[in-house]
Chains A and B, each alone.
Chain A
Amino acid sequence: MKKISIYILAVMTIGAGCTKTYNDTINGQTPDQRVAAAITAYQKKLTGAPYGWILMESTTGVAYNQGTSQTGPKIVLAYYMSFTDSNKVTMFSDWDPTMAATPKSSSYNVKELTRPALIFDTYSYIHVPCDPDPNISHSPYGFGYGWGTDFEFSFSDSVTADQLGDTIHLTGNLNGARAVLIKATQAQRDGYYAGNVLALMGGALSLNNILEYFKRLSIGGNNYELRLDLTNRTVTFTWVDGSGKIQTQTVNYYITGSGIQFATPIVNGSQTITGISNITYNAGNSTATVTIGSQTGTITGAATPLQADATAGSRWWNYGASNGYFWASAYGFHVNGVDDAYGIRNQTDTAQGGGTYYYLAYWPAYYSNPADRLSSIMLYTNHLGFASYHWAAYPPLYPSNGTTVFQGAGDDGNAPTPSGSAFDKTRQTLFNSAGFYVVQTGEKSYDMVLATNGRTWISWFWPQ
């Protein structure tokens, strides 16, 4: 009986604890009312910027679909956005020239989810990089994945909506991309409508008119080599520091109405480069004039690098030899401004029921003596295989000028290389005794620039 009384007491105590003696309103406002007020305040914040906003979005290198993720290159994108009271937003994007030149109107909403969220709820430019259709996003993350960008964001500042300043932080709800809304100035807005982004894109593309591989930027007494990767939206700066060492920094870029901006600044001693505000190509002397901060610099073509990476060639060869596989090139040689100058992609083969070009391969230590093999890889009916004709080569030499020299040994006597064919031209260029400057462009990718005049090069990737 005593036991039962204790139970009853316990239950009654718990029951009594349920009585709400506190008030769940703050300043007389219920949670619902506070949510509604916060949503209104966020919306007002967005529509209250007279010249709109610049939205800068950075990915984390991860993209999600169906609850699983893929990793890939990180990118940074910039948009101009102007929000109206009627749930409409007008935007520009630096994704491609059309989106840089033509504003697009779509809708947005501010909604309470687990956090207040800004949702771009009908399709616009911001949806293109995260479109799961690979024909639209051109994402390297694979079928069904975008680049890891978002169109549904949570407001992620730890202050209330009415305390927000001119910078608003957002976090993507699906992919976790980070975005920052920065209140635009009139000049920035005007820059977008004047087509500055398109002009900057054109300026960057015009650097391709400089036929040399090495594009040398001279600014404020320093020299840099620039390498632009339009697919992955990066720019690489290479320079020689005070102690004579090569320094390389690859940064994401994005383009706004006021210039090409770097997500991370390039720092070389006392010189810091945060972006390029203007690029003008001068066809007369094949150079470009650039404005960086308050300084003017020039970009010219160079036949040789600032300093050759003397071990890059042996790193390349050894990686292939030790992994027992080949380096591949999709486009063969680029010569004097022409991609695939020899037409290697048109190569066909009549063997094994007929094959079409897949890629060019250089296989270090393919033979045990050791010797290398240069061959095209063909796509036959249902498999990949070596083309009928190929060349053997002795392992490359690495002379003291920092080049890598390939040494052709001969073709297969049973299947001689047709003279003047794309493959014949390719092997003649590769076995040129002038050798190549080898540039490592990524973890498993290299470019090789023919040392004669710097206008002939080939890009290799690791196909495994």
Chain B
Amino acid sequence: MRTYFNIFAVLAILLSAASCKKDNFTPLTTPPPGLGGDTWAQDSTDKFIHDSMTVPYNVAVYYKWLPGQLDFPSEITPPDEAKVIPMLKALLAVAYGPYNQQTGSTTFLRKYLPKALEMAGSAEYLPNGAIFLGQAEGGTAMLLYQVNQFSRLKKDSNTFKQTMHTMHHEFGHILHQNVLYPATYKTISTGYTGQWYNVADADARQQGFITAYAMSAPDEDFVEMISSMLAGAPGGPSGGYDEYEALLDQAGGPGSPGYTTIKAKEAVVVDYFARVWNIDFYALRTKCRTAFVNYLQ
């Protein structure tokens, strides 16, 4: 009885599915327009993106506001179009260029750069008083905020360093989202906290974290190590850009617990780049620093 019933049930479902078939289907004569508004008149910015980002790196750059693309519902503004090309040129020269030089071609970045680069003019302001400067979305997209603040002037070198720090940070996420760093990294430090924004960077360094944000989670810690080492250069002006060694001085000096912890993390990062990506991290860092200093005006 039970089997009998089930057969009928299956039959009934099949019948009902069959009856949903549209008999009077209207074939489209034009492609569906999607939600509309997805095309616009191409200008010099769009051409630059196509020639410099999409063709060589297979990356789509979203600089125009797309509703719902960034965190919703948040007060975020789109970038000023006048800042888009200068920002991309800086990225190519200071963040991407050194990787190309180190790996010998654009192949590495072409393969691993997330396929979407999304830009916002302002930062994203969080209720706890912190702001987002960048985000990486599961290896598929990088978000770069505060494009409107972009400047390559020496006097704004601190902001410029922050931008490059953000880019190296987000690309670091992409790398470990592809191949995870050794699990032992997560146990080098204890004391990860959601309240990281109440800690000053200098205090975090004494506790073995290169920045306060590194205290938020091991993933962040790992990529903050990468970005702190790759962004900046020696000889920065006071209050301007500082290289990694200058930051490390605040950890308490050789032999102190903070210094030792950060150095242990550095060793893991260097080893990870060598084994997983076949990249000499220190050589890459030298190239990044040269590119950074040369780009400032």
> Which residues of B, 56-106, contact A by the 8 Å Cβ criterion?
63-67, 71, 73-81, 84
> Which residues of A, 133-176, contact B by the 8 Å Cβ criterion?
133, 136, 143-146, 151-152, 173-174
Residue of B nearest to A127 (CB): B77
Residue among B4, B5, B18, B35 with max Cβ neighbours from chain A (10 Å): B35
Does chain A have a CB within 8 A of B126?
Answer: yes
For chain B, what secondary structure do more than half of its interface residues adopt (helix, strand, loop), or is it mixed?
loop
Does chain A have a CB within 8 A of B19?
Answer: yes
Residue of B nearest to A69 (CB): B73
Contact B19 A122 (CB under 8 A): no
Task: Write out, one digit per residue, whether chain B residues 121-163 have a CB within 8 A of any chain A CB (1) or not (0).
Answer: 1111111010100000000000000001000000000000000
Contact A33 B67 (CB under 8 A): no
- In the assembled complex, which residues on chain A have CB atoms less than 8 Å from the CB atom of B75? 63-65, 130, 132, 144-146, 174
Does chain A have a CB within 8 A of B32?
Answer: yes
Contact B43 A127 (CB under 8 A): no
Residue of B nearest to A65 (CB): B75
Contact A15 B19 (CB under 8 A): yes
- In the assembled complex, which residues on chain B have CB atoms less than 8 Å from the CB atom of A146? 75
Contact B127 A133 (CB under 8 A): no
Contact B36 A123 (CB under 8 A): no
Q: Report how far A98 CA is from B9 CA in the complex, Å.
A: 73
Does chain B have a CB within 8 A of A35?
Answer: yes
> Which residues of A, 246-277, contact B by the 8 Å Cβ criterion?
none
Cross-chain contact of B77 among A15, A23, A123 (Cβ < 8 A): A123
Task: Write out, one digit per residue, whether chain B residues 1-33 have a CB within 8 A of any chain A CB (1) or not (0).
Answer: 000110011011101111111111010101011
CB of B17 to closest CB in A, whole Å: 7
- In the assembled complex, which residues on chain B have CB atoms less than 8 Å from the CB atom of A152? 65, 67
Cross-chain contact of B36 among A14, A15, A106, A111 (Cβ < 8 A): A111
CB of A46 to closest CB in B, whole Å: 13
Given the known interface contacts A87-B41, A123-B79, A145-B75, the answer about A132 and B122 at a Cβ–Cβ threshold of 8 Å is yes
Does chain B have a CB within 8 A of A285?
Answer: no
> Which residues of A, 1-46, contact B by the 8 Å Cβ criterion?
4, 7-8, 11-12, 14-16, 18-20, 23-25, 30, 32-33, 35-36, 39
Given the known interface contacts A107-B40, A111-B37, the answer about A121 and B28 at a Cβ–Cβ threshold of 8 Å is no
Cross-chain contact of B37 among A16, A24, A86, A112 (Cβ < 8 A): A112
Does chain B have a CB within 8 A of A117?
Answer: yes
Contact A18 B33 (CB under 8 A): no
Contact A11 B148 (CB under 8 A): no
Residue of B nearest to A109 (CB): B37
Q: Report how far A20 CA is from B67 CA in the complex, Å.
A: 33
Cross-chain contact of B17 among A15, A35, A39, A173 (Cβ < 8 A): A15
Contact A143 B65 (CB under 8 A): no
Contact B125 A11 (CB under 8 A): no
- In the assembled complex, which residues on chain B have CB atoms less than 8 Å from the CB atom of A11? 9, 12-13, 15-16
Residue of B nearest to A134 (CB): B125
Q: Report how far A12 CA is from B78 CA in the complex, Å.
A: 53
Contact A20 B23 (CB under 8 A): yes
Cross-chain contact of A20 among B5, B22, B37, B127 (Cβ < 8 A): B22
Cross-chain contact of B122 among A7, A64, A121, A133 (Cβ < 8 A): A133
Does chain B have a CB within 8 A of A110?
Answer: yes
Contact B121 A127 (CB under 8 A): yes
- In the assembled complex, which residues on chain B have CB atoms less than 8 Å from the CB atom of A110? 36-37
Cross-chain contact of A35 among B26, B36, B125 (Cβ < 8 A): B36
Does chain B have a CB within 8 A of A346?
Answer: no
Given the known interface contacts A67-B73, A122-B81, the answer about A107 and B64 at a Cβ–Cβ threshold of 8 Å is yes
Contact A18 B77 (CB under 8 A): no
Given the known interface contacts A65-B125, A111-B36, the answer about A16 and B19 at a Cβ–Cβ threshold of 8 Å is yes
Does chain B have a CB within 8 A of A382?
Answer: no
Q: Report how far A145 CA is from B126 CA in the complex, Å.
A: 10
Does chain B have a CB within 8 A of A379?
Answer: no
Given the known interface contacts A122-B78, A127-B77, the answer about A111 and B38 at a Cβ–Cβ threshold of 8 Å is yes
Q: Report how far A35 CA is from B30 CA in the complex, Å.
A: 13
Q: Report how far A11 CA is from B78 CA in the complex, Å.
A: 52
Residue of A nearest to B17 (CB): A15
Contact B8 A143 (CB under 8 A): no
Cross-chain contact of B33 among A16, A20, A32 (Cβ < 8 A): A32
Does chain B have a CB within 8 A of A113?
Answer: yes
Does chain B have a CB within 8 A of A66?
Answer: yes
- In the assembled complex, which residues on chain B have CB atoms less than 8 Å from the CB atom of A151? 65, 77-78
- In the assembled complex, which residues on chain B have CB atoms less than 8 Å from the CB atom of A335? none
CB of A349 to closest CB in B, whole Å: 28
Contact B67 A111 (CB under 8 A): yes
Contact B67 A119 (CB under 8 A): yes
Does chain B have a CB within 8 A of A131?
Answer: yes
Q: Report how far A36 CA is from B15 CA in the complex, Å.
A: 36
Does chain B have a CB within 8 A of A243?
Answer: no
Q: Report how far A251 CA is from B126 CA in the complex, Å.
A: 33
Residue of B nearest to A11 (CB): B12
| 9 CB-based A-B contacts, threshold 8 Å | A4-B4, A8-B8, A11-B16, A20-B23, A32-B32, A35-B35, A109-B37, A122-B78, A123-B148
Given contacts A20-B22, A65-B73, A107-B81, 4 further A-B contacts (CB under 8 A): A11-B16, A19-B20, A36-B30, A112-B36
4 residue pairs, one from A and one from B, having the closest CB atoms: A111-B37, A15-B16, A144-B125, A112-B36
